[in-house]
């Protein structure tokens, strides 16, 4: 009696409101890449594809359904630790929800990417067709005509509802590769800037322009004058000017501005604006003078950490934040970082302003809004 070949399986968490985990088979070429905590792409249902998190590995084949294959691996290293998983499971039990719902809510925004799986011919594919079925040949020909196809498009091209097993064989034969296109939900903040057209950079051309529009379009004159003032156009150091600043200074409607753009007097362009502004510190934590009670609390906390957790109890406005700031400063001086958790998002602005007063741009903010 010969031993059966070892089957590599993984249980995964899917971002769906269904209880339990789901088991998938790991292709031989992915065995070393599929480890707990990494994200993988798996088929679910007839045509849907999801990004799942690997929970555990095993060799126990389910007997009540046919196990599907993992399609691809997205991470080289785990993005979720065992400690996180245990916490998620506790939350699912406490809040009477599924692990998938916890995953959907808990996964950081940077990892919650919108995905669309697409197919393309493998770069090493040599063009052979004779060893493939008619349906597989149809997929190959469709990809010759259209270099990139989604799974649904491939399904329609061959008239097969359950197209994933067919695609899986083509992937195994290195005829087709599946590309996971990940589009971030983040959209950069844009700002519209204004500049003067090159035709009017000379003083003579600019004077002729003013003579031309001064009587017929006084509102446009106000807009143009505001731009030249804000840009310090006639000075040594010209500056970039935002459209909204021009409109605010000129106190004119958008239509007057648009007319100058249409006449190609002004040009507009967009720039990506960082959401992380520079916040210089206004004071140093050393400037905080603690009261006797605050100093006593500070000393007790520092003598207890890091061996024991500390609970600091105090009424509202009793001076706890000053102690926190002193403690944060101490950790930073030692080369560490501090995670400051707030129980309510409404408190964020107030606390962040106080922290930035002392720590400036070193204060990072992360929340759901």
CATH class of 116-183: mainly alpha
Residue 276 has pLDDT above 80, yes or no: no
Cross-strand pairs, 190: 272
Report the pLDDT averaged over residues 262-273: 89
State percent of the chain over pLDDT 70. 89
Binned at pLDDT 50, 70 and 90, residue 72 comes out as: confident
Mind listing the pLDDT tens digit for each residue in 52-62? 999 999 999 88
Distances (CA, A) of 339 to 18, 132, 299, 344, 358: 33, 57, 20, 15, 16
* Residue 4, token pair as written in the block: 């059966």
How many beta carbons lie within 10 A of that of residue 245, not counting itself?
Answer: 15
Contacts of 157 (CB under 8 A, 6+ apart): 138, 139, 142, 149
Average pLDDT, the chain: 85
Mind listing the pLDDT tens digit for each residue in 41-51? 888 877 677 88
The residues spanned by each domain of the chain are 9-112, 116-183, 193-273, 285-362
Answer whether CATH 3.40.50.150 is correct for domain 9-112. no
Report the pLDDT averaged over residues 70-76: 84
Binned at pLDDT 50, 70 and 90, residue 183 comes out as: very low
The secondary structure element, H or E, covering residue 266 is strand 266-273
Residue 223 has pLDDT above 50, yes or no: yes
Mind listing the pLDDT tens digit for each residue in 280-313? 888 899 999 999 999 999 999 999 888 888 899 8
* Residue 116, token pair as written in the block: 């669309």
pLDDT value for 249: 92
């Amino acid at each position: 009696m010969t031993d059966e070949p070892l089957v590599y399986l993984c249980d995964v968490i899917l971002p769906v409101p269904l209880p339990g985990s789901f088991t998938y088979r790991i292709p031989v070429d992915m065995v070393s890449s599929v480890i707990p905590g990494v994200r993988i792409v798996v088929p679910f249902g007839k045509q849907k594809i999801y990004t799942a998190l690997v929970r555990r590995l095993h060799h126990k084949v389910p007997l009540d359904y046919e196990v599907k294959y993992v399609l691809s691996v997205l991470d080289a290293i785990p993005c979720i630790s065992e400690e996180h998983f245990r916490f998620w499971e506790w939350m699912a039990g406490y809040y009477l929800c599924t692990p998938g719902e916890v995953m959907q809510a808990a996964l950081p925004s940077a990892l919650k990417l919108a995905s669309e799986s697409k197919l393309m011919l493998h770069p090493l594919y040599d063009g052979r067709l004779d060893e493939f079925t008619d349906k597989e040949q149809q997929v190959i020909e469709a990809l010759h005509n259209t270099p990139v196809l989604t799974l649904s498009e491939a399904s329609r091209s061959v008239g097969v509802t359950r197209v994933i097993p067919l695609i899986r064989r083509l992937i195994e034969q290195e005829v087709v590769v599946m590309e996971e296109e990940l589009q971030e939900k983040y959209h950069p903040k844009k700002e519209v800037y204004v500049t003067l057209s090159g035709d009017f950079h000379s003083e003579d051309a600019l004077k002729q322009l003013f003579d031309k529009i001064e009587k017929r379009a006084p509102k446009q004159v106000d807009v143009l004058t505001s731009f030249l003032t804000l840009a310090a156009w006639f000075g040594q150091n010209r500056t970039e000017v935002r459209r909204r600043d021009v409109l605010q200074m000129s106190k004119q409607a958008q239509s007057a501005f648009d007319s100058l753009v249409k006449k190609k007097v002004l040009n507009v362009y967009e720039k990506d604006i960082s959401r992380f502004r520079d916040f210089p510190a206004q004071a140093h934590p050393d400037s905080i003078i603690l009261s006797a009670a605050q100093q006593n609390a500070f000393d007790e906390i520092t003598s207890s950490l890091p061996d024991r957790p500390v609970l600091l109890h105090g009424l509202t406005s009793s001076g706890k934040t000053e102690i926190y700031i002193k403690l944060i400063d101490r950790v930073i001086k030692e080369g560490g970082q501090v995670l400051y958790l707030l129980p309510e998002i409404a408190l964020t602005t107030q606390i962040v302003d106080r922290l930035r007063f002392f720590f400036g741009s070193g204060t990072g903010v992360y929340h759901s809004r």
